[in-house]
Amino acid sequence: MSLLLAQFGGLSTLVQNMQGMGFFQFLFPFLLVLAIVYGVLIYALPDKFPKSAKALVSLIIAFFVMLYAASTFNVAQVLAQMFGSTILMLGSGILILIIILGILGISPSDLWKGKDVTNKGWIIILLIVAIGILVVFGAGIESIVGIPGWLGSSDLWTIIFFLIILALVFWFLGRGEEKPAKPV
C-alpha cells in the first residue's frame, strides 16, 4: 500500500516539476499549435507546398504562440480549464448517450440505413445537439451572450428536463405492439 502511495506522490512531484519548468506554459501550447497548424496545412494544401515549407510555417507560428505565452501569465490555466472541463463534459455526455441508447435497445447500426437517417437517427442527432447545448452553457456562454434571466433559471430547465423524461417514459411504455381484441 505504501508503495502505491509513493508512486502517486512521485506523479504529483513530476507534475509540479513540469509546471515549475514551464512545460504547461510554454512547451505544450507550442506543441499543440505546431501539430494543429501542420495538420491543417497538410489537409488544406496537400500539393501546393512541399512538406518542409509546411513544417517551417507551422514551426514559426508555434514559436509566435510560445512568445505570446511568455508574455501572458495564465495561458496554461486557460488551456487546462478549457480542455479539462470540455473533455470531461463531452465524455460524460457521450457516456450518458450510450447508456440511453442501451436502455432503449437501439444499436448504432440501426440509426443509419444506407445514406438516409432513420427516425431513431434523428432522435440521436437531437440528443447530441442537446448535449452540445448543455456543454456550451456549462462552459459559461450565458455571461458572454447576455441571455435573459428567465431563460437561465434552473427552475425552467428542471421543468424542461422533467417533461423530456416524461415524454421518453410515455414513448417507451407506448411503443409495444398492440394486439387486436378477440371477438367475444
**What DSSP string runs through 127-166?**
HHHHHHHHHHHHTTTHHHHT--GGGG-HHHHHHHHHHHHH
Q: Which of 31-40, 91-100, 130-139 has the lowest mean pLDDT?
A: 130-139
Would the pLDDT of 175 be above 70? no
Average pLDDT over residues 96-111: 72
Contact between residue 96 and residue 130 where contact means Cβ atoms under 8 Å apart: no
- Cell numbers 478549457 correspond to 82
Mean pLDDT of the residues in the chain: 74
The enclosing H or E element of 119 equals helix 119-138
Decide which of 128 and 120 is more confident.
Answer: 128
Would the pLDDT of 75 be above 60? yes
CA separation for the pair 58, 46 (Å, rounded): 14
